[in-house]
């Protein structure tokens, strides 16, 4: 149960501070811009990795949990429970963000909640096919890095920093394209609250990251098998 509670808290923090930075500061054209938003997501991972990493592994992302399942590092039961905890944590994070925004005079309808999107909801009008491809690529790079840095105990002391910086790295490219998901729970929560087009498009940001994760896990297993 401690593992699941840790995943719940970690995902809530990631979503609140990552999506919150995007929504509150005005997105790409806002006070912090792409780099600031990317760092908010990355630093959230760094912070949580050194707090809950020794308890749950700090997945805080269903795509990461899928890669660990494929790699044989977790059971099916834990995989299911992790995803439930992560999704509930993400919903809490967005609920807190919504509460903050409606009590601060910020217009949720205008600023959004950090939701992902394509076509008109992409800063560069990336279409659906492009969005799926982008999410597969970004997630592949992110998950592949996680598998690499966590496979060697000698790197354990810097794993959180490497993973956090990699998340920021993929966000820098991905934010103008799709808003960057690479995390189905992070995408599902704001879509539920916003409804409409965000909810209709969210399947892309669930399917894409899961495909990218599976490809990364299978590739890593193939290239590192003895």
Closest listed residue to residue 135, CA positions, set 203, 38, 212: 212
Neighbours of 222 (CB within 10 A): 8
Encoded tokens for 31: 């006070």
Closest listed residue to residue 58, CA positions, set 127, 149, 121, 193: 149
pLDDT at 112 over 80: yes
Say what the pLDDT of residue 152 is: 81
Say what the pLDDT of residue 93 is: 97
Residues 14 and 92: beta-carbon distance below 8 Å: no
Question: Structure pTM?
Answer: 0.93
- Given the structure tokens 């800063």, which residue do they identify? 123
Residues 191 and 199: beta-carbon distance below 8 Å: yes
Domains defined for the chain, CATH in brackets: 2-224 (1.20.1080.10)
What tens digit of pLDDT does each residue of 51-95 get? 998 999 899 999 999 999 999 999 999 999 999 999 999 999 999
Neighbours of 137 (CB within 10 A): 17
- Residues of the chain with pLDDT > 70: what percent? 100
pLDDT at 1 over 90: no
Q: How many CA atoms lie within 13 A of 104 on its CB side?
A: 13
Encoded tokens for 9: 């808290």
Banded pLDDT at 161 (limits 50, 70, 90): very high
- Mean pLDDT, the chain, integer: 94
Say what the pLDDT of residue 27 is: 85
């Amino acid at each position: 149960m401690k593992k699941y509670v840790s995943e719940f808290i970690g995902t809530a923090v990631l979503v609140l501070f990552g999506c919150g930075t995007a929504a509150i500061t005005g997105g790409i054209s806002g006070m912090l811009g792409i780099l600031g938003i990317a760092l908010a997501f990355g630093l959230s991972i760094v912070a949580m990795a050194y707090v809950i990493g020794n308890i749950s592994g700090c997945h805080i992302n269903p795509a990461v949990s899928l890669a660990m399942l494929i790699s044989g590092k977790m059971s099916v039961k834990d995989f299911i429970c992790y995803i439930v905890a992560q999704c509930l944590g993400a919903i809490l994070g967005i609920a807190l963000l919504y509460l903050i925004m409606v009590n601060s005079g910020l217009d949720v309808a205008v600023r959004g909640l950090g939701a992902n999107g394509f076509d008109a909801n992409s800063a560069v009008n990336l279409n659906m096919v492009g969005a799926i491809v982008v999410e597969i690529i970004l997630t592949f790079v992110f998950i592949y890095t996680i598998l690499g840095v966590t496979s060697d105990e000698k790197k354990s002391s810097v794993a959180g920093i490497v993973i956090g910086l990699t998340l920021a790295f993929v966000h820098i490219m991905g934010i103008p394209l799709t808003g960057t998901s690479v995390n189905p729970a992070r995408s599902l929560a704001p879509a539920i609250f916003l409804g409409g087009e965000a909810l209709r498009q969210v399947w892309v940001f669930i399917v894409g990251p899961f495909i990218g994760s599976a490809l990364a896990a299978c590739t890593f297993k193939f290239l590192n098998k003895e």
